[in-house]
Amino acid sequence: MNRDDIDRMVLVGETDIPEILPFAKFLADWRDTVDDNSDGWSTWRAGSKCADRLMALLHEADASRRGRGNVPPRELFMKALAPIRSFATQRDLPKPELVEDRPAPVAVRGPRL
pLDDT computed for residue 90 by the predictor: 96
Is residue 109 included in any domain, yes or no? no
Segment 21-72, tens digit of pLDDT = 999 999 999 999 999 999 999 999 999 999 999 999 999 999 998 889 899 9
Q: Over 60: is that where the pLDDT of 112 sits?
A: no
Task: Identify the domain containing residue 58 by its residue range.
Answer: 3-90
Is residue 97 included in any domain, yes or no? no
For the chain, percent of residues with pLDDT exceeding 70: 88
Is residue 104 included in any domain, yes or no? no
Q: Over 90: is that where the pLDDT of 108 sits?
A: no
Residue 106's alpha-carbon distances to 29, 100, 102, 103, 109, in angstroms, are 20, 17, 12, 9, 10
CA dist., res. 13 & res. 27, Å (int): 12
Mean pLDDT score of the chain? 90
pLDDT computed for residue 89 by the predictor: 97
Q: How many domains does the chain have?
A: 1
